[in-house]
Amino acid sequence: MASKKIHAIYTDDDLLLQAVKQTRAANYHISEVFTPFPVHGLDHAVGIAPTRIAITSFLYGLTGLGVAVLMMNYMMIQDWPQNIGGKPSFTFYQNMPTFIPIMFELTVFFAAHLMVVTFYMRSKIWPFKKAENPDVRTTDDHFLMEVDADNHDVEKLTKFLYDTGASEISLIENEQDH
């Protein structure tokens, strides 16, 4: 099915934010917004759910801590319980003070890297990924709002978007949905 979208370009973030609020209030569906920088409050105005990426980071951190404890317990206490400079190697907790620096570092290492990898995967960005912003000016100083036009009167919607302050409005027709 062919899908119709309208791209409205704004030249100011305040204008965009206001337009997003008006468009939502008029019950039009905003399918995407492209901005050159993070606009404070935009995610809330568009109505997207909060991200859970910090929670994943916490879990990854716990994983890192677990890896560190298991690794050092196995190597230092189980496998080769040696006397190195009189350090007590009988149980894990007796020698734990010297393990803490590495427990800490591995916690941070896992939490940071796995979260970043999660971010790249969830946002689908990687080195040879092709950019998908429909207008190159949206990384400079233009703001683009994409509105679904399938079930609406295009003329009316265009007029509405023009009234919200859009400086350019264009109708996009895609052959396939995505």
Q: Does 6 bind other proteins (CB under 8 A)?
A: yes
Count H helices and E strands in the chain, helices first: 5, 4
Which two tokens mark 124?
A: 């689908």
Residue 172 as a binder of other proteins (CB under 8 A): the answer is yes
- C-beta of 27 vs 167, nearer to other proteins: 167
Q: Where do the H-state alpha helices sit in 26-165?
A: 42-46, 53-72, 96-122, 154-163
Segments in 35-75 forming alpha helices (H): 42-46, 53-72
Answer for which of 70, 81, 84, 93 binds other proteins (CB under 8 A) is 84
Residue 1 or 128: the one with the smaller Cβ distance to other proteins is: 128
Q: How far is the CB of 65 from other proteins (least distance, A)?
A: 13
**Among positions 26, 70, 91, 141, the unique one binding other proteins when judged by CB under 8 A:** 141
Alpha-carbon distance 110 to 105, whole Å?
Answer: 9
Tokens read off for 106: 């591995």
The answer to whether 177 contacts other proteins (rule: CB under 8 A) is no
- Asked if 178 interacts with other proteins (CB under 8 A), we say no
Is residue 150 close enough to count as binding other proteins by CB under 8 A?
no
Nearest residue (CB) to other proteins, 25 versus 49: 49
Could you say which residues in the range 36-75 bind other proteins, by CB under 8 A?
Answer: 36-43, 46, 48, 50-51, 53-54, 57, 71-72, 75
Answer for which of 59, 70, 81, 87 binds other proteins (CB under 8 A) is 87
- By beta-carbon proximity to other proteins, the closer residue of 115 and 151 is 115
When binding is defined by CB under 8 A, the residue of 23, 28, 158, 164 that contacts other proteins is 158
Distance CA 15, CA 13 (A): 5
Q: Mark 14-38 as b/e (b = at least 16 C-beta within 10 Å).
A: eebbebbeebeeeebebeebbbeee
| Cα separation, 165 vs 17, whole angstroms | 11
- Using the rule CB under 8 A, is 104 a contact of other proteins? yes
